[in-house]
Amino acid sequence: MRRKVYEQGVPFAEVELSGDNPPVRLYDTSGPGSDPLKGLPGLRADWIGTRGGGKITQLACARAGIVTPEMEFVAIRENMDASVVRDEIAAGRAVLPVNVNHPESEPMIIGSRFLVKVNANIGTSAVSSSVAEEVDKLTWATRWGADTVMDLSTGKRIHETREAILRNSPVPIGTVPIYQALEKAGGDPVKLTWEMFRDTVIEQAEQGVDYMTVHAGVRLAHVPLTAGRVTGIVSRGGSIMAAWCLAHHRENFLYENYAELCEIFARYDITFSLGDGLRPGSIADANDAAQFAELRTLGELTHVAWEYDVQVMVEGPGHVPMHKIKENVDLQQELCDGAPFYTLGPLTTDVAPAYDHITSAIGAAMIGMFGTAMLCYVTPKEHLGLPDRDDVKAGVIAYKIAAHAADLAKGHPGAQAWDDALSKARFEFRWEDQFNLSLDPETARSYHDATLPAEPAKTAHFCSMCGPKFCSMRISQDLQAYAEQGMRAKSEEFRAAGASVYQISSTGGQST
């Protein structure tokens, strides 16, 4: 079975296995469980107090050589030395998003040296969903492994929705403040002002938002570069800022007031997520001049944030064919001096709406392997509608697969132990262990039971795919035992034993 265990206060999902197989510990994001009326306990409340005034960001602390309790926490979580955590943060290669006003969160780290993380987007829109639904999606998303959640609510009740999400979230919460600012501007981008935006940021900062997407890289001069595109500007924030820049024929006010933004972010230890407002929205537009012009600006803004001791990560695309993926990571890492990359997919083809969790899991796994630190999920509803509960799960699972595949490819220490434990259970026909070790135990169990529902089938040395006679693993197990004893001498013995090996087991469920 699976149960939650704590090691020095750090949560893990521990999978107990049968026989003398040691238990397996998995990274766990599900939190202590939430009660939307009361919210979660303030795990970090005491730690935050100790930092007092002055420079309070994790980056400032790391640069001062301090290992914060948050860094200790993630060190245990990632099975790494705390000094590595501190050094990666100090160098800007990792971020630990922890607004001082979000004490409920369990610290986690985003950086290419650590496990690849997954973000799930939720949020109401003008035409869909309620506050309670969104809190439910949050809890559901972290249950399946979302490492952070972005609240992308638009329409009414943005503040209230966000409050409910923050008070119930064990993971860092990200937002895109321009959405709420636009509501304050009556929905007209042209009427947006820096003051509206700034006040919105402060309102959200007070609530405890851990990281914010800011589209400060959509500069006036970049906008005409999108004119020849197949799909123009597909980022909401990007299109809003582009409309503002063009209408006023002025430089992006986020770019112009970026220093003040840094000062605000530093006070709360909010992490920048520098938005890629000009990301490609189709295969045709991938890696084009507009996208890379903005990326150069994001590199510049990364360095400015660091001057203010503000943590920063950089957002990336989008829609990119496989052969153009690596260039994105390489250029971002170069221009942003190793700041964590945080990409949306990318989708590797445009032709499969309703399956974009798959078109993009392909790109996400690859870009993770190349060094992207966090993957923003895409659900089956992408391009078609808002994700419901099932879509959230489908998106998170597809992205946990991509992230773990990337961890394996990067040779992350300990990542393969999970695969090995599951494969060993599979080879030894420990069905229950195999289910419990699965990313989604319930579904794995139900798929098995669909063909062989009888309880004895759970201990049978075969499954419905091959039936008892053709079970390669069963034959192979016998071979292995045989090979261990030397080959030739045992030939006769194997032949004699063989007859029983391929008989139908008395525990079998083959007739069900």
Q: Which is nearer to a copy of itself, 84 or 475 (CB)?
A: 475
Residue holding tokens 């890379």?
A: 292
**Residue among 357, 368, 282 at smallest CA distance from 325:** 368
Least separation in angstroms between residue 120's CB and a copy of itself is 15
Residue holding tokens 């798959």?
A: 358
Residue holding tokens 């957002």?
A: 315
Least separation in angstroms between residue 47's CB and a copy of itself is 33
Amino acid letter for position 464: S
Least separation in angstroms between residue 449's CB and a copy of itself is 8
Q: In angstroms, rounded to a whole number, what is the distance separating the alpha carbons of residues 403 and 146? A: 11
Local structure of residue 224 (DSSP, 8 states): G
Least separation in angstroms between residue 50's CB and a copy of itself is 38
Residue 302 tokens read as 């990364």
Q: Which is nearer to a copy of itself, 163 or 478 (CB)?
A: 478
Q: Which is nearer to a copy of itself, 63 or 424 (CB)?
A: 424
Q: Which is nearer to a copy of itself, 264 or 408 (CB)?
A: 408
| b/e per residue 424-452 (b: at least 16 CB within 10 A) | ebeebbbbebbbbbebbbeebbeebeeeb
Q: In angstroms, rounded to a whole number, what is the distance separating the alpha carbons of residues 85 and 233? A: 37
Residue 167 tokens read as 């008070």
Least separation in angstroms between residue 397's CB and a copy of itself is 6
Q: In angstroms, rounded to a whole number, what is the distance separating the alpha carbons of residues 40 and 139? A: 12
**Residue among 451, 468, 455 at smallest CA distance from 502:** 468
Least separation in angstroms between residue 283's CB and a copy of itself is 4
Contact 89, 256 (CB under 8 A): no
Least separation in angstroms between residue 272's CB and a copy of itself is 21
For every residue of 24-81, which 3-state class applies, written as one string?
EEEECCCCCCCCCCCCCCCCCHHHHHHHCCCCCCHHHHHHCCCCCHHHHHHHHHHCCC
Q: Which is nearer to a copy of itself, 200 or 359 (CB)?
A: 359
Q: Which is nearer to a copy of itself, 300 or 350 (CB)?
A: 350
Least separation in angstroms between residue 356's CB and a copy of itself is 9
Q: Which is nearer to a copy of itself, 280 or 299 (CB)?
A: 280
Contact 384, 354 (CB under 8 A): yes
Q: Which is nearer to a copy of itself, 233 or 329 (CB)?
A: 233
Least separation in angstroms between residue 236's CB and a copy of itself is 5
Q: Which is nearer to a copy of itself, 18 or 480 (CB)?
A: 480
